[in-house]
């Protein structure tokens, strides 16, 4: 069967990674979380003291960019993909609300995007991948054979993120999360370099009312249609 690239883009906290991971597992593709890479760069900035009073020291980050190595490894028990920043697994740290509050400013910097997009294209060279993010179908792989654009209301998305953070053992405030979801949407939609937008040939999926199983079934159908064409 022909191998394709599947690009899943959309608003923050839509459950893109849950669906992308499940699809990849089901069809034997590799899964890549491009947002995790932006999150890792934001975490690096926080660890290095590059962010003071919410302002990024852009020149220090630019100079350090070649020192930032982001890779993925598989969890020995669950097989889930874990993000590795300069040799250290940072999967939990990059999901914190503090990182969520910085990441979209870091992701708006052109030199950060250029560096990460190069790495993302490398990951897709052999095809057979599912990648989720904001600009995968528009900028990273405009030639992707299957493109999905996911959306749901901000409240539904904030509730999902809240549940995820609680499951990770933290005690977040729902209103802080909702404010963050709304702010990141705004920053992602209005930035100059590859803003969030639906590719013309992407299929729109509003998953606000869908179960995880229903969503996976829908995705598998779209995948089948695409490879059987």
Q: In the complex, which residues of this chain contact ligand CDP (CB under 6 A)?
A: 12-13, 16-17, 34-35, 38-39, 103-104, 107, 133-136, 184, 188
* Paired strand residues for 205: 150
CB of residue 54 vs ligand CDP: minimum separation in angstroms?
15
CB of residue 125 vs ligand CDP: minimum separation in angstroms?
18
Q: Which is nearer to ligand CDP, 111 or 224 (CB)?
A: 111
Q: Which is nearer to ligand CDP, 187 or 220 (CB)?
A: 187
* Paired strand residues for 55: 52
The residue number with the shortest CB distance to ligand CDP is 35
Burial class (CB in 10 A: 0-12, 13-18, 19+), 16: buried
CA–CA separation, 176 vs 188, rounded Å?
A: 18
Q: Which is nearer to ligand CDP, 73 or 224 (CB)?
A: 73
Q: Which is nearer to ligand CDP, 192 or 229 (CB)?
A: 192
Name the E strands within the chain: 5-10, 30-33, 51-52, 55-56, 70-74, 81-85, 88-89, 129-133, 146-151, 203-206
CB of residue 89 vs ligand CDP: minimum separation in angstroms?
16
Burial class (CB in 10 A: 0-12, 13-18, 19+), 11: buried
CB of residue 183 vs ligand CDP: minimum separation in angstroms?
9
């Amino acid at each position: 069967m022909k191998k394709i690239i599947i690009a899943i883009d959309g608003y923050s906290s839509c459950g893109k990674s849950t669906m992308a991971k499940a699809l990849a597992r089901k069809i034997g593709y590799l899964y890549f979380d491009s947002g995790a890479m932006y999150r890792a760069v934001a975490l690096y900035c926080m660890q290095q003291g590059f962010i003071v009073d919410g302002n990024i020291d852009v020149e220090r980050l630019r100079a350090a960019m070649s020192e930032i190595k982001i890779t993925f490894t598989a969890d020995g028990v669950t097989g889930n993909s874990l993000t590795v920043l300069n040799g250290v697994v940072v999967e939990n740290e990059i999901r914190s609300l503090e990182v969520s509050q910085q990441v979209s400013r870091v992701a708006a910097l052109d030199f950060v995007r250029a560096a990460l997009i190069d790495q993302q294209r490398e990951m897709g060279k052999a095809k057979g991948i599912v990648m989720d993010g904001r600009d995968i179908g528009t900028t990273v792989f405009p030639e992707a054979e299957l493109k999905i654009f996911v959306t749901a209301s901000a409240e539904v998305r904030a509730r999902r993120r809240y549940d995820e953070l609680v499951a990770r053992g933290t005690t977040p405030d729902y209103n802080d999360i909702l404010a963050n979801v709304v702010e990141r949407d705004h920053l992602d939609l209005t930035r100059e370099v590859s803003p969030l937008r639906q590719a013309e040939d992407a299929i729109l999926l509003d998953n606000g009312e869908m179960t995880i199983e229903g969503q996976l079934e829908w995705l598998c159908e779209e995948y089948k249609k695409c490879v059987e064409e």
